[in-house]
Structure 1
């Protein structure tokens, strides 16, 4: 940290919403040239605090000061003029415009045509200074995810930002791109830019940050430095109890292949090929993890296996039974349980009660139905048992599923899917958006399925999760599985090269 001048002071920030105290007397300071990590679970109050800083929300109490003076920020335009920039997890770029046009978008209108050549020249200078390889003339729709993030950073630098907020900036990057991003952020810090780095990846926070602030339930629970703490201590501060970050994986005898994917070809939503000649087997008693950056065919592969998307060519077998192209209910009857990527869209009916969601796929079968009538007593007994066994926190069985937290919705889905003791479990992004405690529980349940003899296929963009759970790892890039390796052979460097499309690493 090159400069210790206080750049940002958030003092006593309090923000209430109906029934929720989102920020409770929060204090945070960021120095010029400091990389300050902000940690916390979903709902801890991080996003609300940053929206107060950026002028999207007005605090009910407290003060925002920049360079020792009241910020006067009441809208994002004020924040931008004050040198504050925010890069959201979902980028705010116009795909049909060029890089230079996106960078210039929203600049002050001087009544003349914009000199895009001057913008392009400045973009080139910034790219060179901060190691951001971007082509000013390229259209955003042509760019990969990592390149789009670079455009967002260039856009902030072009506006001479002095304080940059990054919200989960590594979530969509390969390990190589993460390393490149960190070089850029350290260079910015050297030049006196203050950075707030929001992340849930503890290894990255410890590697990058100068200081770390942890929030829980709307309050700051601790401030520390990487040299004075550990992953375990940070997780404890985030959750409020000790957390087992690395799940135990007892040795188990591996059996025959229960899920066989052979030469699968699947089209995406736009009719272009999303999965190309994909072949993979998952055996009884093993977890196979598929690693890859979002948008490389993982979602389409999962939906095709589950019967939710047509198969153009190839075959899917469950326990030697061809299920290719069957209705999802028939695939389920063949032994597949499916935990979908989008839990609110595909995993539950938000308006239905907890109980209704738990029997969603079994409501028309005994013991829950007889002579066309629901047996409410049997349903209640079964649902109470599942809620207890899977530690689903809900006020009542009649509570709408959409009222539960993300972690408890995911537990509800797991309870329903695992209650049938499936032969094959397909879990897509199983812990996305859930807190550390729920993620710990979900990991334990996946490993228990492995011990039971199920074949478990986990698709995750979280490389740490894939490495922690998997017996074997497949790497997917541009719709193809480039390599399958034993966990003992896997390194972050090799997986990172494969995620970036380097077949030489296979």
Structure 2
């Protein structure tokens, strides 16, 4: 008998006219790890929200241990043995581990919270799962991987027999991700069921017993592990062949375009360490990748170059010109493009139309306005060019951009930012939360910008992405920059050690620790996957 059975579940959103879940049926057995994969906007999240009572299904049924259940709220889901760990943790930073795990189920003695009993109970549960974690420690003092284990303990403390993990390795270091996969298998071995939602196909292949593929609200594949290659799974997800590896070739390096000299910034209220004496050069025609666990100063680095938060000390130069204290508009005007980490709140205005977002960095240029009057035909024409060139699915110039999927939102951002052939491209977490098809597009676009002579500063917590795209690699740890290192001198394990405060082995350190290693490679063979060359925004037209 399946632990969970979904029968012909359907959900239609009348307001947007989208059939998000189209008669989906699947089963999860006790002790099974089921991977759920698919493009962004394909219905995975809606399906999970139906299970957790966020939405009510229009048709279909849910059975737990063979009995049909009605789930109208998250409390209903928990009562029926379902638990979910979201990509963005729902923990109280100022509470201890024990207080977070037993939140809402606190042991009481004489009418007061019994902290000793809570810590004993959580210590027993942690020991059962093999977690080395202090129940009395404040959550805000824990590394990200330990915080995720607190979330898992919280679900298990509520007696979850089926655990849903949503993109669980998105914010983990390589070693933490490996540890999590071992944990998932141990959960299954203990008889619990796990639904593992991820876009990282190698992880899916290594941890899952079965893989269910969704596309446009429907199940298009239900496969046992090993029945399909990564390429087969990507084709099922997207409906076409997907290039999973980035082609690269050697070429002549260019001049230094971006230079940071002893740049420092203070710690932030959110707990980031700021920047400590960062020195860095990025050349024309290279991608310099910055790896690191989120919150180690990467955002402050990008914001300093983009002039969103000027540094407290040090200098930033573009092509030899000091831009340290210029405004964001001035920095854009001299050739810096910014693909923001938060496309929802920083990269785009979700309440505005696609057309308005497409020209949001250049709307004052003569091309789009004259004597204060908007040239609507020209603006519309550019938006149409962007939609066609960057294959914005479902896009129309007048459509409110917030109604698009994550991958298509990122296409709008990248189309806008790369349209003027910028000198420097700041790409901060450019594929966060995207599916394999959208990731392929982003990688192709960044490689094309590199081939056209841009200096690309790539910041990503996805170590495989940094290694696949970069000519040189550095690591941000506790606000300091380690490296850069030539790509040939580092691998996943060595960078993973740097990301957690370790070091490279002595031989590698000696060969790769120069502030500016030898000439990087430039990919002249790459071509832009999409182009607005027929109607570009010139640098002099940008804000």
Q: Is the TM-score greater than 0.5?
A: yes
CA distance in 2, matches of 1:194, 1:365: 57
Return 5+ residue gaps in structure 2 as ranges.
Answer: 510-543
Q: Mapping of 1:128-207 within 5 angstroms?
A: 128-207=127-206
Shift of 1:46: 1.2
Would the aligned equivalents of 1:145 and 1:173 in 2 still touch at CA under 8 Å? Answer: yes
Return 5+ residue gaps in structure 1 as ranges.
Answer: none
CA distance in 2, matches of 1:136, 1:463: 31
Q: Is 2:301 aligned against 1:305?
A: no
Shift of 1:193: 0.7
Further displaced range: 408-417 or 291-300? 408-417
CA distance in 2, matches of 1:393, 1:180: 37
Q: Is 2:3 aligned against 1:7?
A: yes
Structure 2 residue aligned with 1:436: 436
CA distance in 1, matches of 2:395, 2:335: 32
Structure 2 residue aligned with 1:409: 409
Q: Mapping of 1:99-118 within 5 angstroms?
A: 99-107=97-105, 112-118=111-117
Secondary structure of 2:279's counterpart equals strand
Would the aligned equivalents of 1:167 and 1:197 in 2 still touch at CA under 8 Å? Answer: yes
CA distance in 2, matches of 1:386, 1:504: 43
- The alignment covers a number of residue pairs equal to 502
CA distance in 2, matches of 1:383, 1:48: 30
Further displaced range: 380-389 or 275-284? 380-389
Would the aligned equivalents of 1:252 and 1:451 in 2 still touch at CA under 8 Å? Answer: no
Structure 2 residue aligned with 1:50: 48
Q: Is 2:213 aligned against 1:217?
A: no
Q: Structure 2 vs 1, CA of residues 15 and 403 (structure 1 numbering), >3 Å: closer, same or farther?
A: closer
CA distance in 2, matches of 1:421, 1:286: 14
Q: Structure 2 vs 1, CA of residues 243 and 190 (structure 1 numbering), >3 Å: closer, same or farther?
A: same
Structure 2 residue aligned with 1:295: 295
Q: Structure 2 vs 1, CA of residues 239 and 263 (structure 1 numbering), >3 Å: closer, same or farther?
A: same
Would the aligned equivalents of 1:32 and 1:192 in 2 still touch at CA under 8 Å? Answer: yes
Would the aligned equivalents of 2:290 and 2:475 in 1 still touch at CA under 8 Å? Answer: yes
Of 21, 24, 41, 1:23 maps to 21
Q: Structure 2 vs 1, CA of residues 82 and 304 (structure 1 numbering), >3 Å: closer, same or farther?
A: same
State the TM-score, normalized to the length of structure 2.
0.87
State the TM-score, normalized to the length of structure 1.
0.94
CA distance in 2, matches of 1:74, 1:394: 32
Would the aligned equivalents of 2:6 and 2:26 in 1 still touch at CA under 8 Å? Answer: yes
Shift of 1:103: 1.6
Shift of 1:269: 4.0
Q: Structure 2 vs 1, CA of residues 458 and 68 (structure 1 numbering), >3 Å: closer, same or farther?
A: same
Would the aligned equivalents of 2:41 and 2:406 in 1 still touch at CA under 8 Å? Answer: no
Structure 1 residue aligned with 2:503: 503
Secondary structure of 2:183's counterpart equals helix
Would the aligned equivalents of 2:273 and 2:478 in 1 still touch at CA under 8 Å? Answer: no
Q: Mapping of 1:19-418 within 5 angstroms?
A: 19-107=17-105, 112-270=111-269, 273-393=273-393, 395-418=395-418
